[in-house]
């Protein structure tokens, strides 16, 4: 048995890909007999101390500053610096200053440090975006040198970062996990269509993701523009956008200006437990990201596990997951005509849609959380051999 400290800016009840990754990884590790503690920042007014499922212990420190979803907490740094006796620290980035604090804490406590790189710095105002990019460069070229095992989720994402040789020599690729069984169970797609008054014969295009201004790189505005052309080819097509955030009002205004508001549904945020029903209701899923790398978006695995073909863009990370002409279609980022053409093709070609959906479902079988956790466990064990097992958060 090992004592493992997961270090992350976000954790449920906060929603998002990193949150899901850390929670599922922690659950599987705990079920395999390890003691898992989670140190995070309290962004959602959740209990400061909580005993999670499978005996996971969660500590949430007070939030001092949340700037475009980059969180800062002085007490978090204090807790981490005083954490002792763990066999391994595992920090999840991007986490502004969190990575650097983890490096210092690991050195101070002589604890092996693993870091999973989930993505680059967040976007916001032009000034903040510039600062975030500067920090991303620093963390990738300087801070990661202090990490024993840098972990990346896809090869193309890792290679796109032009990492220093010392980081490349240490890095490992660990495929992210997906709740394949949860999303392949079928869901209650009929109920979702009834909720939004969508006839069974109407093609339904789905997007799921956080609609914050820091996530403009997701390209939802390009999806709305492409949907104008899709409507011209398939008049009864509907677009269902799941997610909330401060970008939402602007997107709703754009839909009205494009005169497609009557065929676009903004569902708002949806709990993870209800998402299988939304995927089940859809005919295809679209991830129109305009910049990257995207690394390993969980929503792609959720859609593919639901046997839905995917339309996505040719950016690092995504190209390792979506197989063009097999599990869906890939188009250049920011190319509205090609995005529209790809969506229209899947909407109109039932045989290709069903075949790509079947292949997508089969493809996700290599992306289970169990397999992900086993790979991480092997990394931990290789670094933590002969370490004491008395992990505590003081």
CB 321 within 8 A of CB 295: no
Domains of the chain: 3-177+368-384 (3.40.50.2000), 180-366 (3.40.50.2000)
Two structure tokens written together for 251 = 């997107």
Task: DSSP for 234-272, please give it.
Answer: -TT-EEEEEB-STTHHHHHHHHHHTT-GGGEEEEE---G
For 149, the enclosing helix (H) or strand (E) is strand 149-152
3-state secondary structure of 280: helix
Two structure tokens written together for 142 = 């300087």
Q: How far is 18 from 12, CA to CA, in rounded Å?
A: 10
10 Å CB burial of residue 237 (0-12, 13-18, 19+) is buried
10 Å CB burial of residue 300 (0-12, 13-18, 19+) is buried
Q: What is the pLDDT of residue 65?
A: 59
Q: 65-67 and 70-72: which strand pairing? A: antiparallel
10 Å CB burial of residue 255 (0-12, 13-18, 19+) is buried
Two structure tokens written together for 294 = 């995207």
pLDDT, averaged in runs of 10, over the chain (394 residues): 93 83 93 95 76 84 64 81 94 87 94 90 61 72 92 91 92 85 78 96 96 89 98 97 95 98 97 91 97 79 94 94 97 98 98 97 88 94 65 50
How far, in Å, are 205, 206, 258 from residue 278 at the CA level?
Answer: 10, 8, 25
Measure CA of the first residue to CA of the last residue in the chain; give whole Å.
Answer: 21
Q: What is the pLDDT of residue 389?
A: 40
Q: What is the pLDDT of residue 368?
A: 84
Q: What is the pLDDT of residue 66?
A: 61
Q: What is the DSSP letter of 175?
A: P
């Amino acid at each position: 048995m090992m004592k493992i400290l997961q270090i992350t800016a976000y954790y449920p009840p906060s929603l998002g890909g990193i949150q899901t990754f850390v929670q599922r990884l922690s659950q599987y590790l705990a079920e395999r007999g390890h003691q898992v503690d989670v140190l995070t920042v309290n962004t959602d007014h959740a209990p400061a101390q909580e005993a999670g499922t499978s005996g996971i212990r969660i500590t949430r420190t007070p939030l001092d500053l949340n700037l475009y979803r980059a969180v800062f907490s002085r007490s978090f740094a204090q807790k981490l610096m005083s954490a002792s006796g763990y066999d391994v620290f595992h920090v999840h980035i991007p986490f502004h200053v969190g990575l650097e604090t983890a490096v210092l804490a690991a050195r101070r406590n002589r604890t092996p440090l693993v870091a999973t790189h989930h993505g680059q710095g967040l976007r916001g105002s032009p000034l903040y975006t510039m600062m975030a990019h500067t920090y991303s460069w620093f963390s990738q070229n300087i801070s990661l040198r202090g990490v024993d095992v840098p972990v990346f989720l896809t090869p193309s994402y890792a290679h796109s970062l032009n990492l220093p040789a010392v980081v490349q020599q240490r890095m490992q690729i660990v495929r992210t996990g997906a709740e394949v069984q949860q999303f392949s169970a079928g869901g209650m797609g009929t109920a979702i269509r009834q909720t939004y008054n969508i006839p069974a014969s109407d093609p339904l295009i789905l997007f799921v993701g956080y609609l914050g201004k820091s996530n403009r790189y997701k390209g939802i505005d390009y999806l709305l523009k492409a949907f104008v052309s899709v409507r011209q080819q398939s008049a009864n097509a509907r677009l269902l956008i799941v997610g909330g955030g401060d970008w939402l009002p602007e997107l709703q205004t754009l839909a009205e200006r494009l005169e497609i508001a009557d065929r676009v549904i903004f569902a708002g945020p949806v709990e993870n437990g209800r998402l299988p029903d939304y995927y089940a209701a859809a005919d295809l899923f679209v991830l129109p990201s305009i910049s990257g790398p995207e690394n390993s978006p969980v929503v792609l695995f959720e859609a593919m596990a639901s046997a839905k073909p995917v339309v996505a863009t040719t950016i690092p990370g995504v190209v390792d997951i979506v197989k063009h002409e097999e599990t869906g279609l890939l188009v250049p980022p920011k190319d509205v005509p090609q995005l529209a053409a790809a969506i229209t093709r899947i909407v109109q070609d039932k045989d290709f849609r069903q075949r790509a959906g079947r292949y997508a479902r089969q493809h996700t079988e290599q992306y289970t959380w169990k397999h992900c956790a086993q790979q991480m466990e092997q990394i931990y064990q290789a670094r933590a051999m002969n370490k004491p097992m008395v992990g505590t958060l003081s």
